[in-house]
Amino acid sequence: MSEAKKESKQGKIRAQSEAKILAAAQEEFILQGYRGATVQSIADRAGLPKANILYYFKNKENIYHAVLEQTLDMWDEGIGDIDAADGPKVAIEKFIASKVRMSFKHPSASKIYAMEIIQGAQHLKEFARTYLRKWVRDKAALFQTWIDNGEMAEVDPYNLIFLIWSTTQHYADFETQILTVMNRADYEQEDEEQVTQFLTDFILRGCGLK
């Protein structure tokens, strides 16, 4: 009876506030780092008084954890599973496309993730050790099968996965640098398509699939 409370009415204000806070916090954590992002600055960006922030999240670290969790959920959705049934060509095409889409649609998530890893993955060690390691192992094995079957060139599957990750995420993480170098203010809609096209062509060729 009282179990569903969280989802019914009471949850609405809470959910709204939490979302506003998390969005503000994500930006502040990117721009200022964990320590540099003050609860006050998050409050200001969210347009709420500081004490209200601490009412929804017990403390600053909880905010950060929530932001990270949100980021991992997004990673999970956006990863674009590699499907064995597709065969190497289509599988790689799909994988690249969904990773590029993630980078252009949610650059902030990618940036938070990147910062966390660069700083030593203090909060993601567990995620990397379990979930991620298994994911990479599985997909690498799949690539290896295709290689053994002569369906693609002999490329080290692990390094191939790293290559796809790095190239696709680069457009999110290094957004600022790319835009500055290209003398542009923002990405345009066609940029995503153009990048997808470039990476797909290039990587398929690298895999001997084109």
User: According to the binding rule CB under 7 A, does residue 5 interact with DNA?
Assistant: yes
Place of tokens 């990476």: 199
- Pick what 176 binds: a copy of itself, DNA, none; C-beta below 5 to 8 Å, kind-dependent: a copy of itself
**Dihedrals φ, ψ of 124, to 5°?**
-115, 5
User: How many residues belong to the chain?
Assistant: 210
How many Cβ atoms sit within 10 Å of the Cβ of residue 159?
10
Q: Give the interface size with DNA as a residue count (CB under 7 A).
A: 24
**Which positions from 20 through 79 interact with DNA, judged by CB under 7 A?**
37-40, 48-52, 54-56, 58-61
- Pick what 12 binds: a copy of itself, DNA, none; C-beta below 5 to 8 Å, kind-dependent: DNA
Dist CA 7 CA 13 (whole Å): 11
Quick one: CA torsion of 20, 26, 31, 36, rounded to 10 degrees? Answer: 90
Dist CA 71 CA 102 (whole Å): 11
**Which positions from 136 through 175 interact with a copy of itself, judged by CB under 8 A?**
136, 153, 155-156, 158-160, 162-163, 165-167, 169-171, 173-174
Among 7, 12, 90, 198, the residue binding a copy of itself under the rule CB under 8 A is 198
Residues near 129 by Cβ (< 8 Å), separated by ≥ 6?
Answer: none
Residues that bind a copy of itself (CB under 8 A): 30-36, 111, 114-115, 117-121, 125, 128-129, 132-133, 136, 153, 155-156, 158-160, 162-163, 165-167, 169-171, 173-174, 176-178, 180-183, 194-195, 198-199, 201-203, 205-206, 208
